[in-house]
A = this chain, B = another copy of it.
């Protein structure tokens, strides 16, 4: 088993944090995104989407998509549960994971990729050539601002995003906020719930993974 990773990228970090919380160690191979190794023939042969992370199983099969990789490890080692342990908790955690991903992590990526000069012609992850879109950079920026507001509101009476337990929703949230910071999008000083939560999850040893 092996994880294809890129140390600097936000999505592989989600899996690394997840594994650190589970106490699972597996071999890791770096795929250099700056050198565009992810869209080279060798890599596209095992992942036609050209994305990292990618999990290679012992039977030679591959699983891409961070959350699908996390699901695999949640199923093989349920403890500690990071995706919920009863139907309602599973649904609630999945809901928040998705909300944070769709409204925070993705807009942060759209803002960054569509404005940073290094991504000219690569307005999307993967092998597709795509012009940067100033519209999308602006929309991403607006949406990240709204995301901070809503998440601050959600965290008013909760220790973690999905309730009283740390979960995969917190992992996506932490990574989303750090990724938004690449575009200098940061919570305001008045968003005290959000900031206290951030400090809480960022202080866990897994945050360094």
Contacts and interface: CB of A to CB of B under 8 A. Distances in A.
A33 B72 CA distance: 37
A95 interface: yes
A198 to B, nearest CB: 21
Contact of A92 (B63, B90, B130, B139): B63
Q: How many copies does the complex hold?
A: 2
Interface residues of A, number: 41
Chain A binding site: helix, strand, loop or mixed by DSSP? helix
Contact of A95 (B48, B68, B76): B68
A86 B61 CA distance: 15
A130 B142 contact: yes
A71 B162 CA distance: 15
Given A88-B61, A136-B135, A139-B133, A94 B68 contact: yes
B72 A87 contact: yes
23 contacts: A48-B150, A49-B103, A49-B150, A55-B91, A61-B88, A61-B92, A63-B88, A63-B95, A65-B94, A65-B98, A65-B99, A68-B92, A68-B94, A68-B95, A68-B98, A71-B94, A72-B87, A72-B88, A128-B143, A130-B142, A133-B136, A135-B135, A136-B139
